[in-house]
């Protein structure tokens, strides 16, 4: 008698690509990204805007999904793109817990949610404080990194390199408007048809 194997646990996830389609560099058209994700066997693939936000369903763990999509992008496009994957539950929890609620309404393009490949290291918030020279505020909640760039992102010293160094691994950010739009896609993917 054959051993009974449990059915794979398929769940909704969010993949965030870092540093694509900026200033005409590292172009990844969303139509091609959706095809790559489908070729990996992912279901219900949807993208949001050109910054590389993918909502999908798949089994396996988040780290495996990150590696799969990174390898597929490198093979197809010829350059490396860091990918960070979170579960639907993690995304919705973070999206619902913005510590800058008033600022998110007043200036949603300047309030950002970030995730890192690895858990932020202890003391990361303290290490970022000296770089908050234009009124920025940083709040770490679990593996979510919230930043209010009240003086503007372009002039901030909280650059991707500074964030990566302080957090201890690759970080990618999305503004509050995008965070909420992705949350809507996640809810749609998670609700029964």
Alpha-carbon distance of 79 to 51, in angstroms, equals 16
Could you give the domains of the chain?
A: 11-88 (3.30.70.1280), 92-187 (3.30.70)
**Is the confidence at residue 143, as pLDDT, over 90?**
no
Q: With 0.85 as the threshold, say if the pTM is over it.
A: yes
Which residues are paired to 184 by β-bridges? none
Angle between helix 88-95 and 176-190 (nearest 10): 140
> Can you tell me which residue has the tokens 């770490």?
140
142 to 93, 139, 146, 150, 174: CA distances (angstroms): 10, 10, 11, 23, 17
Tokens of 115: 């995730």
The answer to whether the beta carbons of residues 39 and 88 sit under 8 Å apart is no
Nearest by Cα to 87 from 18, 10, 164, 178: 10
Q: Is residue 159 classed as helix, strand or coil in its secondary structure? A: coil
Residue 50 confidence (pLDDT): 87
Mean pLDDT (the chain, rounded): 93
pLDDT tens digits for 160-183?
999 999 999 999 999 999 999 999
pLDDT tens digits for 48-57?
998 899 999 9
Query: What residues contact 46, with CB distance under 8 A and at least 6 apart?
Result: 34, 54, 55, 56, 185, 188, 189
Alpha-carbon distance of 43 to 41, in angstroms, equals 6
């Amino acid at each position: 008698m054959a051993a009974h194997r449990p059915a794979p646990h398929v769940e909704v996830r969010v993949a965030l690509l870092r540093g694509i389609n900026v200033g005409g560099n590292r172009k990844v058209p969303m139509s091609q990204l959706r095809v790559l994700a489908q070729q990996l066997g992912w279901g219900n693939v949807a993208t949001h805007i050109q910054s590389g936000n993918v909502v999908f369903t798949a089994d396996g763990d988040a780290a495996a999904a990150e590696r799969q999509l990174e390898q597929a992008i490198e093979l197809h496009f010829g350059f490396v793109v860091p990918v960070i994957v979170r579960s639907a539950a993690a995304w919705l929890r973070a999206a619902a817990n913005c510590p800058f609620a008033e600022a998110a309404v007043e200036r949603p393009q300047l309030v950002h949610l970030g995730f890192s490949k690895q858990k932020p290291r202890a003391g990361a918030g303290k290490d970022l404080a000296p770089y908050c020279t234009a009124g920025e505020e940083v709040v770490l909640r679990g593996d979510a990194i919230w930043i209010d760039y009240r003086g503007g992102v372009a002039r901030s010293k909280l650059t991707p390199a500074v964030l990566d160094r302080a957090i201890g691994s690759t970080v990618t950010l999305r503004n509050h408007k995008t965070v909420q739009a992705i949350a809507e896609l996640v809810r749609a993917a998670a609700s029964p048809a």
